[in-house]
Amino acid sequence: MEGDALAKGGRNGAAGGTTPEWTSDPSPLLDVQGVTLQYKTRHHLVTATCRVSFQVRRGDRFVLLGPSGCGKSTLLKGVGGFLKPVEGAIRLAGREIDAPGPDRMMVFQEFDQLLPWKTVRHNVMFPLLASGRLGRADAEIRAMKYIVKVGLEAFADAYPHALSGGMKQRVAIARAMAMEPEMLLMDEPYAALDALTRRKMQQELLRLWQDTHFTALFVTHSIEEAIIIGTRILVLSPHPGRVRAELNSVTQGVGSPEFAALQARIEDLVFAGHAVEEEPHA
């Protein structure tokens, strides 16, 4: 089975080498430096993250891991350009992020992120047309390329209401990938799926990555998912989120001693509140 093969070997291409072979550029694609993000409500000032720093290189599957309320989604909003840091800076390819842009595409947890009145094909085409990136004919070719990649070609003319939750998430991923963004921002895209579908989708994402080597910033509060998906894992403390550790993931799959050891180490960090530690890129 393909999923098992992926889980057993060669899964985390970036975790095993020095400089990844698909990029010769050693400078970070995303540079988050000392970022504090806050929400101002009528009566309160909520500090969601406090002086968070990390760097994402091209081809990384970089995971933000931490308990509910630690500011993972807030960090994605910051990188997405929806929220400005009150302290620190977020740079993409050297430029400070000051607004949302088609170079960063979001995939959310909710199944209802598709336009219900458009078919799968037209949902995937929509941002390509709305951003003016491609004309109709090219947008359709590009959309179908990514619909095929997520295995939904038979459903290209179906409407979202006829799809399962997992299929809707596949369409959302195809739609984001079709824009060929600098970075995919994924906010717990599998959290609402059943365990089996979730595992299948994780393996599918890794297969897509083998195919296109996209760069992803992936949020989860599942330690297991973080290790399966990630090449790098940033462990955040509870509210307000601070960096507790930045770790390399392992190439071995679930059930291996390496996987279990990393899982235990992260559990210890999450639950025992250890001090900050950082590993150099593998």
Q: C-beta of 270: minimal distance to ligand ATP in Å?
A: 12
Q: Are 63 and 230 in contact (CB under 8 A)?
A: yes
Under rule CB under 5 A, residue 220 binds Mg ion: no
Rounded Cα distance, 266 and 263, in Å = 5
Q: Contact with ligand ATP (CB under 6 A): which of 61, 142, 149, 221?
A: 221
Cβ distance to Mg ion smaller for residue 65 or 227 = 65
The C-alpha atoms of residue 85 and residue 255 are separated, in whole angstroms, by 40
Q: Is 119 among the residues that bind Mg ion (CB under 5 A)?
A: no
Under a CB-based contact definition with an 8 Å cutoff, are residues 72 and 241 in contact? yes
Contact between 252 and Mg ion by CB under 5 A: the answer reads no
Is residue 23 a contact partner of residue 212, using CB atoms and an 8 Å limit?
no
Look up residue 28 and give its two tokens. Answer: 């970070």
43 near ligand ATP, judged by CB under 6 A? no
- Which residue, judged by CB position, is nearest to Mg ion in the bound state? 73
Residue 187: CB minimum distance to Mg ion, A: 6
The CB-of-47 to ligand ATP minimum distance in angstroms stands at 8
Q: What is the DSSP string of 77-93?
A: HHHHTSS--SEEEEEET
The distance of closest approach from Cβ of residue 262 to ligand ATP in the complex, given in angstroms and rounded to an integer, is: 21
The rounded distance, in Å, linking the Cα atoms of 179 and 181 is 5
36 makes contact, choosing from ligand ATP, Mg ion, none, with CB < 5 to 8 Å by partner type, with none
CB of 221 to Mg ion, least distance (A): 8
73: contact with Mg ion by CB under 5 A: yes
Give which of 110, 105, 118, 117 is closest to 175, Cα–Cα. 105
Tell the smallest beta-carbon distance from residue 234 to Mg ion (Å): 14
Is 68 a residue that touches ligand ATP (CB under 6 A)?
A: yes
CB of 193 to ligand ATP, least distance (A): 16
Q: Does 16 sit near ligand ATP (CB under 6 A)?
A: no
Residue 82 touches which of Mg ion, ligand ATP, none (Cβ within 5-8 Å per kind): none
46 is a contact residue toward ligand ATP (CB under 6 A): yes
Q: Hunting for tokens 């996209």 — which residue is that? A: 214
Return the residue of 70, 92, 177, 201 that touches ligand ATP, per CB under 6 A.
Answer: 70
Query: How far apart are alpha carbons 123 and 175 in whole angstroms?
Result: 7
Indicate whether 242 belongs to the interface with ligand ATP (CB under 6 A). Answer: no
74 binds, among ligand ATP, Mg ion, none (CB under 5 to 8 A by kind): ligand ATP
Which residues have a Cβ under 8 Å from the Cβ of 264 and sit 6 or more positions away? Answer: none
DSSP H helical ranges for 93-180: 120-130, 136-149, 165-178
Residues between 137 and 176 with contacts to ligand ATP, criterion CB under 6 A:
none
Neighbours of 197 (CB within 10 A): 16
Cα-Cα-Cα-Cα dihedral sign, residues 101, 102, 103, 107: positive
Are the C-beta atoms of 239 and 84 separated by less than 8 Å? no
Interaction site with ligand ATP (CB under 6 A): 39, 41, 46, 48, 66, 68-74, 221, 239
Interaction site with Mg ion (CB under 5 A): 73
